[in-house]
């Protein structure tokens, strides 16, 4: 029975890693967006219009705030995913039969849904 619990624990760990990777990919895309906006701001930095300068300062400030919030939320989400994977791992090792039963029931439900299509 230890082998089934280990397999379930490995699956939980892998799921946690994959969700963390997906979040980092999303953060990478967001970073590319920020880089593009910052490049745009650099290119218009030599324009002396006061309205453009005011808007540029406002956008730069907004980007800094969004970067900070995004970084904090990403760290929070990754940490939460890791904690969930760790808790699942502990639960599976402490209650292997329950974990196997829940997994079997979930498999039956998914199988029934797929067979109907």
Q: Cβ distance 44 to 52 under 8 Å?
A: yes
**Cβ-based neighbour number of residue 71 at 10 Å:** 13
Each residue's pLDDT tens digit, 33-83: 888 888 887 777 777 778 777 887 888 888 888 888 888 888 888 888 888
Instruction: Report the pLDDT value the prediction gives residue 109, as an integer from 0 to 100.
Output: 92
Cβ neighbours of residue 63 under 8 Å, at least 6 residues apart? 34, 37, 38
Q: Is the pLDDT of residue 5 over 60?
A: no
Q: What is the pLDDT of residue 77?
A: 86
- Predicted local confidence at residue 54, as pLDDT: 82
Q: How far apart are CA 9 and CA 5, in angstroms?
A: 6
Look-up of token digits 């900070």: 68
Q: Is the dihedral of CA 30, 35, 36, 42 positive or negative?
A: positive
Instruction: List pLDDT tens digits, range 90-114.
Output: 888 888 888 888 888 988 999 999 9
What is the length of the chain?
117
């Amino acid at each position: 029975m230890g082998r089934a619990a280990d397999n379930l624990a490995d699956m939980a760990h892998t799921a946690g890693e994959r969700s963390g990777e997906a979040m980092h990919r999303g953060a990478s895309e967001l970073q590319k967006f920020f880089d593009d906006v910052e490049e745009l701001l650099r290119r218009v930095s030599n324009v002396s219009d006061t309205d453009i300068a005011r808007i540029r300062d406002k956008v730069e400030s907004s980007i800094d705030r969004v970067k900070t919030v995004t970084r904090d939320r990403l760290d929070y989400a990754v940490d939460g995913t890791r904690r969930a994977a760790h808790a699942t791992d502990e639960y599976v090792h402490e209650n292997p039969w329950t974990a196997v039963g829940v997994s079997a029931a979930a498999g039956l439900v998914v199988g029934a849904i797929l067979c109907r299509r």
